[in-house]
Amino acid sequence: MHPIQVVHQPANHTSDWVIAAAATFVVVSVFLLVLLLVWLTRPGGSDDSDDGGGGPGGPPHGPPPGPGWWPDFERQFAAYVAGRQGRAQRPPAWRR
């Protein structure tokens, strides 16, 4: 053999199955990374909603109803504030 031909021969030190396994590992890793990113960036919410749409839900339907005692509290608080307004115009007893 001519010495130049020996220099130009490719060096196949790695077997074909190692190259195929490494390539498969890289392809599967990239696929799993893309799948993970898609899963992390999907909109939140329930997937089994009956709204018929695939997108995110619309605006909320208003505040939830308050407790049953809330109207009584508001009425009592309004009476308390109205009673305090009449006394707020006089200075406290210790300042007279």
3-state secondary structure 5-54: HHHCCCCCCCCHHHHHHHHHHHHHHHHHHHHHHHHHHCCCCCCCCCCCCC
In a domain, 20, yes or no: yes
Q: How many domains does the chain fold into?
A: 1
Which DSSP letter does residue 4 get? H
Reported pTM: 0.35
Top-confidence residue, 73 or 56: 73
Residue 34 lies in a domain: yes
Residue 32 falls inside a structural domain: yes
Which residues, in sequence order, are CB contacts of 43 under 8 Å at separation 6+?
55, 56
Q: Are 56 and 43 a contacting pair, CB within 8 Å?
A: yes
Domain contains 19: yes
Domain span including residue 33: 13-40
pLDDT at 87 over 80: no
pLDDT digits (tens, 9 = 90+) for 50-66: 555 556 677 777 767 77
Whether 61 is in a domain gets the answer no
Question: Is residue 29 one of the residues assigned to a domain?
Answer: yes
Residue written as token pair 């130009």: 8
Q: Tens digits of per-residue pLDDT, 15-53? A: 888 889 999 999 999 999 999 999 999 887 555 555 555
Q: What is the pLDDT of residue 66?
A: 76
In a domain, 54, yes or no: no
| Residue at 8 is within a domain | no
